[in-house]
Amino acid sequence: MTFLPKWLTFLKGKEAILSNAIIAMLTIGGQQLFSFFTFSCPCHAGKNLIYGLAFLGVPALILLIVGYALNNQTWRLVTGKSSPLQEAKPNKLLQCKLICFVLCSITGRALVAPVTWLAVTLINGSYYVCAMSEFVPYYGANVTVNEQKTTLAAFPCSQLVPPELTRARDEVLLLLRYQSQVAGWLLIAVVVITVFLSYCLASCLSPLSFLHFRYWINYVHNEQELFDEAIDQHSRLYAMQHVKKFFGFVPGSEKVKAIRIPSLREWQAISGLAFLKRVDEEHYDYSLLHDWALREAATGKYLKTDEDPETRMQV
């Protein structure tokens, strides 16, 4: 019975590592499916390079943007403002260091998926072979440069290669796969070394000891978890007041004595597109219902629920 708590204790504080591993595995699986169902080299001079680089770079760029967009720290950095509780003249150097640290942290998380994509595709070699096939320094006898490029561009498609060029095709493909796989492993090595050195440098420059750092990580995690729970409960209770004012009862109540009948004008007032509306320098209206509840009095018709239907309308 003590085995599970030990594992939970071991995994606590390592959510970032686990999430990065899951992202990398999903990226590998997605790349394999993507290659199997969508990739088909055109085997045409001038098109191979664009097609191969598009499959190499565009998904990596999309994954990078998604990585930035899904990180809450990105939006904190973009929308963050100086706190009024801070000193009147904040330390600009300290702020720049903090921004650089947060930006590096966000970028490191966002690079997991695109780097995994590039590494896997390079080790696989198909995209690189297609993109670079026409640029291999292979020279045929009595052929022009354009004819050579046309012939080499057809090498990724075995059905387009004449039988007498089969051996040359195999040599070219082996060379390109060698280059692609070496580049893939070099990319992995550079990333692993960079990440390791970054962690070492951060640990050396950190003012916290090892155990103090672990405590800080756990504190931040627990604070965020409790804050999210408080946000959910607070917003639910706050919204409940506005819903109660509009309908005349609290959702979930077992004994409802009367319900309010909203007027047509009130239904129109809370319908439509809701935008964040600034009320004053400190407060906002979060929805049309919120805006109505703060401006209007809860007057109108009420329907009692514990009387005879013919006599329970009240103005």
pLDDT digits (tens, 9 = 90+) for 223-239: 999 999 999 999 999 99
- The better pLDDT of the pair 141, 98 is held by 98
The full set of domain ranges for the chain reads: 3-219, 233-314
| Pairwise pLDDT comparison (97 vs 41), residue with the higher score | 41
In this predicted structure, the answer to whether residue 95 has a pLDDT above a threshold of 80 is no
Instruction: Render pLDDT for 47-79 as a digit per residue (tens, 0 to 9).
Output: 999 999 998 999 999 999 999 998 888 888 887
Query: Considering only CA atoms, which of 103, 102, 112 is closest in space to residue 17?
Result: 112
Q: What is the mean pLDDT of the chain?
A: 82
Given this model, what pLDDT does residue 6 score?
55
Whose tokens are 């990180």? That residue is: 71
- Tens-digit pLDDT profile for residues 256-310: 888 999 999 999 988 988 777 777 777 888 899 999 998 888 888 888 886 444 4
Task: Decide if pLDDT at 10 tops 70.
Answer: no
